Amino acid sequence: MNMPNAKLISVLIVLIVAVAGAGLYLLSGDDGAGRYRSSDDTGRLMIYGNANNDDYLDQEDVAALEKILAGEAGEIPYADANLDGRVDQADLDMVKRMVKREEMTINYDYYFGGRLMQGKVGYPISAACVVGPEVIAIVKSIGAAGKIKSVSGGDLDSTLFSDLASLPRISDVRFSANAEEVSKYPVSAVITQDSAMYVPNHASFAAAGIDVVRIAAAEGTKSLAGAITLGYLLQCEDSANEYAEFCDGITAHVLSKTGPGLISESARPTALTVAMDNYLSGTSSDYYIASRTAGANNLADWPATTKRFMIGDEWLLEPRYQADYIIHWVGIEYGPVTQGRMQEVWDGYSQYFKAMDAYGSGGYMILNGSMPVPVRIAYMASIFYPEIFGEDYGERMNQRFVDLFMDNLRASGYDASADGVFKITRDMVSP
């Protein structure tokens, strides 16, 4: 989902305030039963009925609605559970059913093609087809791998998704699904990304009685809202909030060391971020925001999400874009990478940036885009501030992610420092 920058900035301020002077991980607490309970109230759970705007659908939402109906509190958008344009007793009755986890149709927000949309989905989702590797990774991370009954095709990571190898493939490519093929398997929903590129034939699924649920999965700091929302829909709230605790903890730890006011702007390293072959992230991009969260001064000054740079173009060669670091995110499997494959990746992607100062100084780096967003932030923080976090901070957080959320990798004894390649630098290949 594409959270507006203003909202994201407010989230970061909340994080900074939460950790300032405390030295603790973000917003930590529990509900009395030892479960993580974030105090984030920015509406990461994008479900109508979330009347107090936190990460949970529980009795506190009932209490919030009762106060609204009594005139003791103002309305917030998600209080309108039945989405009829007013908050009344019908919403309270519906939320009470939601808190009991009754089967029902619920309303939720999602982004599609950059626009905020409202959708309906049958609750709970007990069996799903998942389209897109980033979405598959999130579903696994929140403990719902057992509810995946089929997946999209294409080159899925055979190491990260080894536990799903026997599942039916319902397409030949990673971003599409065929309604007729999906209908062969007992699923009630297709879960995919918020990009218009993914499952463009969504109308055919509605005709087949299959919901299409879209979440942010590959987009910077926003993917956590997708994970929390899916946690409710898939009845995996506890494990989804364990994942949120992991994500929040990394973000808060980084901000507690390098957030606004802690390091002067002149002392911050400068950076640019790149996705796909040659698309530079603009100020509205989640990659831009993630690099800022990691403590860099990102030099991008164009508002578009991306701006393409082709060999022969001149605009990126201007002095104002000569950053200390160029972080290029490329999808690389969690499995072994041969030297030949590493060289192939380097040659294919670095060719666009050889005239940049960062390339000449060793600051151009390819990072593995298969890592979840918080681990990406940790890797960037360790690159930008090795003296603060240690050069292995990203690697340590990646290992923690594996040990906590990737059961198949943990069971195999996966070692992130030895079994995969997550950073490629110029001294690792032939320039």
Whether residue 257 has pLDDT greater than 80: yes
Q: Give the pLDDT confidence of 209-245 residue by residue, as tens digits.
A: 999 999 988 665 578 999 999 999 999 999 999 999 9
pLDDT at 26: 43
pLDDT in the model for residue 198:
92
pLDDT at residue 186 is higher than 50: yes
More confident residue, 93 or 113: 93
CB 306 within 8 A of CB 282: yes
pLDDT at 19: 37
User: What pLDDT was estimated at residue 114?
Assistant: 73
Residue scoring higher pLDDT (348 or 20): 348
Residue 353 tokens read as 């940036």
| Range 131-156 average pLDDT | 94
User: What percent of the chain clears pLDDT 90, i.e. is strictly above it?
Assistant: 82
| pLDDT tens per residue across span 47-94 | 999 999 999 999 999 999 999 999 999 888 899 999 999 999 999 999
Least confident of 208-222, 323-337, 403-417: 208-222
What pLDDT is recorded for position 221? 58
pLDDT at 155: 85
- Residue 3 scores a pLDDT above 60: no
Domains and CATH numbers, the chain: 5-246 (3.40.50.1980), 263-428 (3.40.50.1980)
Full 3-state SS string of the chain: CCCCHHHHHHHHHHHHHHHCCCCCCCCCCECCCCCECCCCCCCCCCECCCCCCCCCCCHHHHHHHHHHHCCCCCCCHHHCCCCCCCCCHHHHHHHHHHHCCCCEEEEEEEEECCEEEEEEEEECCCCEEECCHHHHHHHHHCCCHHHEEEECCCCCCCCCCHHHCCCCECCCCCCCCCHHHHCCCCCCEEEEECCCCCCCCHHHHHHCCCEEEEECCCCHHHHHHHHHHHHHHCCCHHHHHHHHHHHHHHHHHHHHHHCCCCCCHHHCCEEEEEECCCEEECCCCHHHHHHHHCCCEECCCCCCCEEECCCCCCHHHCHHHCCCEEEEEECCCCCCCCHHHHHHHHHHHHHHHCCCHHHHHCCEEEEECCCCHHHHHHHHHHHHCHHHHCCCHHHHHHHHHHHHHCHHHHHCCCCCCCCCCCEECHHHCCC
Per-residue pLDDT tens over the stretch 9-30: 444 444 443 333 333 334 456 6
153 has pLDDT over 80: yes
Per-residue pLDDT, 111: 85
pTM of the model: 0.90
